[in-house]
Structure 1
Amino acid sequence: MPEWLNKWNTRLARWLWWVVLVGIVASLPVMYARVQTESSANQVAIAMDYRDLLQVGASQTNPQAFVQEQLKRLKDAGVNSMIVFEGTLEELAWAGEVAVYNASQAALLEQRVADPGDNRTYVLFTNPEHEKQLRPVIDWAFRNHGADVTDWSFKGRSGVILGLGYDDAMIRPMQPNPAAMQELKEQGFLIIPRLSDRFDPLDTVELDKWLRSFQELGVKQIVFDGEAVTGFEEGPQGVAAFAQLLNKHNIGIGIFENLKVPQKGIDRLANLLDYNAVRAHPVGDAEIMTIRKEQLADRLVLAVKDRNIRILYLNAMTVRDVSKGQVVHPLDTIVYVLQGEGDTRGVTAELADFGFTPGAPQAFQPHHAPYELLLRGLTALGAIALIALAFGLFVPSLLAPAFVLGAIGGAGLYVLNSTLMIQMLALLAAIAAPTASVVLLIKRLRELREGAGDQPISASKRLGGAVILFIRTTVLSLAAIPLVVALLNHISYSLVLQQFRGVSLLHAAPIGLVALYVFLYGSGNTVVGNARRILAMPLTVLWIVALGVLGAAGMYYMTRTGNAGSVSGLELKFRALLENTFGVRPRTKEAFLGHPLFLAGIFLALRYRWAMVLLIAGTIAQLSMVDTFAHIHTPLVLSIIRVLLGLGIGALIGLGIIAVWQIGEGVRNRWVRRQV
């Protein structure tokens, strides 16, 4: 590179760092607005599946008495909400509201011979007090499903005959049981209806009646049953019509996390509701029977505290326990986990310690910084400058074109697809900061070693220099955090309707780029020359084994990235220990791997060239700090605490490693002198 171009690029790089700083300063008010948003709704619904409760009750001697007893126990333990599904004849039978017979059973009941051509379903109302509420519900539902509905009675009990087979009729959906919802409200429970998209066609007039009755019961949210939101099968106009009804009655929605596939139409519906939505965490029927009580308690608390969950959705089921020789259910486990016992604190008490109160969950109220659009524009410019600077460390002659093309391309992409542009910019900035910080560290270490010449740097100077360089590098890596947070500051990210894209790339690219710089740049040779030298090296068995180990470690590392990473039982216990000790769990790969290796690596690299390998491994912690803030559904303050804890613990462990190394090195040197 010509000397004049080198000087010009150096001067430009200084100016671009100022642009990055302006972007960081501009992002701070946006970050504060996000903190205000996240603190705007702290009420949590601990909800029980009412249908499951009825199903468990159906296995008891006196189902109605059992259900009432369990409702009181659950309420005392902290359950403040009931999830009420769309009704079915099966559920009404469990609740003791109706008796349902097939044609043969009805014939026996009436002491007559069954008609071979009769496959209808016969329904008797067993609770006269609720018949006036339930009869029109059943009548409308089955007529909507295309079945004939005719009156029927037996020994003074009124009923209906449905023109559907027994098995089919038992599961056809209808309006959630209005009598049950009214009773639950009178007992002090919040009602969260769970609707489906199983009615064809969508009857907006009838839905309006449902939602009006929900509003009168104080319903604030509904959740969805099945693969899609109500109205999805009708197309965009169906979702829009349903959203209009929800807005009319001031009812929001709950969005389930951890589904294999998000419910269809949920993102569009949330947008049409102006994000009047909260996140819900379900604990399924099967897992609640097998999960340990302590693990369930930790899971529920972390869901609210760490992931902005505002509806905890508990399920129950009956299971035949062959070893006990009886039918068992998890209601005792749920009461224990929520209420605690003896010295064991329950979930409700722990949530209260973190400032969460039981009640009707409310959607976050988005806060915005003054002139936020301008501030985010400056943030985007700072991110582009940071990306260009990282690129310029590898190809210095293209620093200016990289920045100019980045700015022009970013503006063009924003016009075409603003969401894609912002997500791409956030990802590249997240990669650029830890990459640039470690590469600049490596350059500085090489300069210090060359400056020292043949005279090794003393241990005390290396320790002081290592601490300073560790802090400087960490601060530079953290520069991406306010940029990423400000770029992705939208409620749709907090609700995980949109997500930070490219997590796997973020975990791999900085490590790969740093390794590339260590092996191909410097050493008094060109990049091409270094590459040729490495490729010309003989391939020994030791190298093959080393590459195999490195590949296996890389595969394991990549399986641990993202939300779907696998975790062993032992690590779960260790995580719980950290959570209980600090209140906020630092990330293991930062506190116990990356930061210690990085600090010790800087100390050793000031004397030994081979120690650069430790810096490559330690890059894990630098990128992980940025990745922590890419989890937008985690409260910002909690992420800050998590990163600071990781830095503190990691630095202490790193200093311990340095101390052990120095002691070992001193022992070895004394042994060598004695041999001589």
Structure 2
Amino acid sequence: MQKTINWLLNIVILVSVVFSINILSQRMTAEHNFTNIQVAVRYQDILHIIEYTDYELDEVLDIFLELGVNNITVEENVLLPEYYSVSNAKDFVTSDLARGYIDIVKEEEYRLVIEAIDEVTLDRIYDNLVTKGVTVTRDGDYLNIFSQRPYKNLTQLGTGFDIEALTYLANRGFEISPEIRGFTSYSEYGIQTLIDQLEQIPNLGHLLFDGTRIPAYTEANMIKFAREYGFAYMEFFSDTQEGYITLSRRIEQDGVYNVIRMFSPDKLSHIKASGILDTLELALVERNVRAFGFVLPNTGGVEKDFETLQDEISGFVESALGFGYTLDTDIEMKGWPVASRKQLLVIGLGAVAMFMKIIAMTQFAIIGYLAGIGGTLYYVALLLSSKIDAMQSMAFVTTVVFSSYGVLLCIDPPKKKSLTLALMHYCKITLVTFMGIAIMAALISEYSFAIGVNLYKGVKASHVLPLIIVAGMIIVTRWKEIVEEVKKLLKINWKYLVGFGILGVFVVYTVVTIYVSRTGNTTQIPELEALLRATLDDTLGIRPRTKEFMIGHPFMILGLYMSYKGFRWPVLVVGTIGQLSMINTFAHIHTPLIVSGIRTGYGIAMGVIIGIGFIIVYEVVTKIISKVISRWNIKLT
């Protein structure tokens, strides 16, 4: 009966893998065809160049067009430059005062009186400030703006865009991406006023949002506008903005999100404006970023900075074209797979079946089958009520059970040590892991996971649970053998036993602590590891994960080679790190599948080589230890 059930579970897993491969093939096709890239410069940098050099506007635009620039990002104007209140000339040229659009007539403690160069500018400033909660009255050709000195809010609230200037840029062949400044007080009329103004811009591109909060992200007219033109997910910035996830979800239509990934040092204080070609290439190849914003360096010499900016753009464009990418403004992801609930049900059942197979290895098989049935019913209910939660939950389960099961198949040692047999078992374990990779990646291969709207949950737990499961299953299923091994160890002189025990606990604690703390992207890496990473990047192009080729795979091969259970089992537990790390590599949905595959392949190849080296060292060390033990008259067998 149990054999029949096992075969049925195997069939369920195979069907799940087939469905998964179908989803992943669609995703790989979409990624392969996703070759258009956008190169952007900032409008304020253009103004800065023509203000402080002898270049004319058309000369600067011609240079950028020749370099391949096809987009200009434009930050919304403010009334006063920031230095007006905090002695800081940052983005000076984006203010109406600095541009010469207004003159200040009178400054009072609670009132600022201005006049504008024309009626259009006066209307623009009035409409934008009033609809954002500022009290403004008109007095002929003047505006009375009620704000307390030093008028800080007037250095932050947007006053709209210079449509005439942006129309000229668009007519020169650039796509225009407006960057809307943040605001909290508004009316529905105020939002529509801003939208109506933006829609006057020809060749309007995706939207950008400045500040810690996306304005009006719950308003119907903003949602409709963002859905039509799309907006940018700024790397390392947008995920911190209030409203990003909400707005992204509300513009979604049938699994399609008009959101593009963009990288720019503009919002990142820790990244320089120049000398970042490697960073840009990494974002292009390994993060599915297709919009790249370049920033004028700020070294004090504008002419020299402009030359540096040209070199940065030229170097990146040349590199991107060499990789096979094309310069284009149409950078919306197309053809990305959207799995139906029925497909997700079939795919998720593979993880449930694998869970049952693990429990069936113990004397509690019937409990595992019942739990699997209950888990299936819960998964179905979750799919119907919250599709994303179901995908996230089952992806986590898949990672845990598949990275554990292959190792559990090979916990019993061979009668005789054999490198060939160890490598065969390693291939068997890795095959099981790749089945898990297919299922897990298919479960979360919606585009929302690639733009940070939804995330793979349980990263830390999925790096620890498989180790606990493998260790726990060894204890549960091999308890009698463990007791026998302990009895043998107790025959050793207790002083040596305590010494080795303390050393072993210290080593295990250190390895686990470093391993868990290094999981994720927030921990600062040691200088030596940084050097190793840089070397691998330069040599291989795509760097394998350190925890795989330096820890997981070598220890797995060493453990599979060992015939002494007392050594084999703990080493196999450590070796499990490589298997679960491989699955987690493919949980980075923003990384193209082919890149994750190459990274994993490099990790396996290098891990096998290092693992064979571990075996050689092990053989040498055990011979030395055997001689020492024979002198102590200690018997382990």
TM-score tier after normalising by the smaller chain length: 0.7 to 0.9
Corresponding residue for 1:381? 349
Alignment pair present for 1:281 and 2:239: no
Aligned residue for 2:114?
122
* In the alignment, structure 1 residue 257 sits paired with structure 2 residue 218: no
Match of 1:646 in 2: 603
Residue from 558, 580, 593 that aligns with 1:600: 558
* Residues 1:200 and 2:200 are matched in the alignment: no
Matches within 5 A, 1:265-664: 265-273=243-251, 274=253, 275-284=257-266, 287=269, 290=272, 293=275, 296-316=276-296, 318=298, 331-339=306-314, 346-368=315-337, 373-394=341-362, 396-397=364-365, 398-443=367-412, 445=413, 448-449=414-415, 457=416, 462-522=418-478, 524=480, 540=498, 543-603=501-561, 605-607=562-564, 609-662=566-619
Aligned residues: 603
The AA in structure 1 aligned to 2:207 is I
1:26-67 deviation digits (Å, cap 9, x = unpaired):
221111111123234322222233335546776x4x5x8487
Task: Pick one of 16, 40, 43 that aligns with 2:36.
Answer: 43
The reply on whether 1:12 has 2:5 as its aligned counterpart is yes
Residues 94/393 of structure 1: CA separation in 2 closer, same or farther (3 Å cut): farther
Q: Give the deviation of 1:555 after TM superposition.
A: 2.1
Unaligned runs of 5+ in 1: 1-7, 105-115, 126-130, 153-158, 321-325, 340-345, 450-456
> Structure 1 residues 132-141 or 633-642, which shifts more?
132-141
Q: Which residue type is aligned with residue 632 of structure 1?
A: I
Distance 1:332 1:285, change over 3 A: farther
Which residue of the partner structure matches residue 151 of structure 2? 167
Matched residue of 1:271: which SS?
A: helix
Instruction: Give per-residue Cα distances to partners, 1:543-573, cap 9 Å, x unaligned.
Output: 3454344323322211211232333444344
- Pairwise CA RMSD: 3.7
Q: Is the 8 A contact 1:388 1:406 kept in 2?
A: no
1:361-394 deviations in Å (ceiling 9; x for gaps): 422123448x954433211211211122223335
Q: 1:73 to 1:405 in 2, by over 3 A?
A: same
Provide the rounded CA distance (Å) in 2 between the counterparts of 1:151 and 1:312: 45
1:87 corresponds to which of 77, 80, 87: 77
Opposite residue 243 of structure 1, the aligned amino acid is I
Choose 75-84 or 29-38, whichever is displaced more: 75-84
Is the Cα contact below 8 Å between 2:192 and 2:221 reproduced in 1?
A: no
Label 1:662 to 1:568 Cα distance change in 2 as closer, same or farther (>3 A): closer
C-alpha distance in 2 between matches for 1:176 and 1:494 = 32
Q: 2:99 aligned with 1:96, yes or no?
A: yes
Q: Partners of 1:643 and 1:435 in 2: how far apart?
A: 18
Structure 2 vs 1, CA of residues 330 and 180 (structure 1 numbering), >3 Å: closer, same or farther?
Answer: same
The offset of 1:18, in angstroms, is: 2.0
DSSP 3-state at the match of 2:423 = helix
For 1:356 and 1:566, the matched residues in 2 are separated by: 32
Separation in structure 2 between the aligned mates of residue 489 and residue 245 of structure 1, nearest angstrom: 26
Q: 2:126 aligned to 139, 162, 172, which one? A: 139
Cα offset, 1:508, TM superposition: 0.8
Residues 554 and 70 (structure 1), Cα distance of their counterparts in 2 relative to 1, 3 Å cut: farther
Could you say if the C-alpha distance between residues 303 and 534 of structure 1 is closer, same or farther in structure 2, counting changes exceeding 3 Å?
farther
Unaligned runs of 5+ in 2: 82-93, 631-637
Superposed CA deviations along residues 410-429 of structure 1, whole A, max 9, x for unmatched, are: 22333333322221111011
Corresponding letter in the other structure for 1:311: A
Using the size of structure 1 for normalisation, the TM-score is 0.79
2:170 aligned residue (154, 178, 185): 185
How far did 1:278 drift?
A: 0.7
Do 1:46 and 1:78's aligned partners in 2 also have CA atoms closer than 8 Å? Answer: yes
Note the alpha carbon deviations across 1:521-553, whole angstroms, 9 max, x for none. 4152599x9999999x98946534543443233
Q: CA shift at 1:24, angstroms?
A: 0.8
Kindly tell me: are residues 366 and 94 of structure 1, through their superposed partners in 2, closer, same or farther at Cα, counting changes over 3 Å? farther
Deviation of 1:480 (Å)? 0.8
Separation in structure 2 between the aligned mates of residue 569 and residue 465 of structure 1, nearest angstrom: 38
Change (3 A) 1:474 1:142: closer
Aligned counterparts of 2:548 and 2:158: Cα–Cα separation in 1 = 50
What TM-score, normalized to structure 2?
A: 0.84
Aligned partner of 2:90 in structure 1 is none
| 2:369 alignment partner, SS class | helix
- Report the Cα distance in structure 2 between the residues aligned to 1:509 and 1:581, rounded to whole angstroms: 34
Deviation per CA, 1:296-333: give whole Å up to 9, x if none: 2111111121111122233456467xxxxx89996554
Once the two structures are TM-superposed, the CA of residue 76 in structure 1 deviates from its matched residue by 4.5
1:22 aligns with 2:2: no
Instruction: Provide Cα deviations, 1:325-368, integer angstroms capped at 9, x if missing partner.
Output: x89996554433332xxxxxx22222222222222142212344
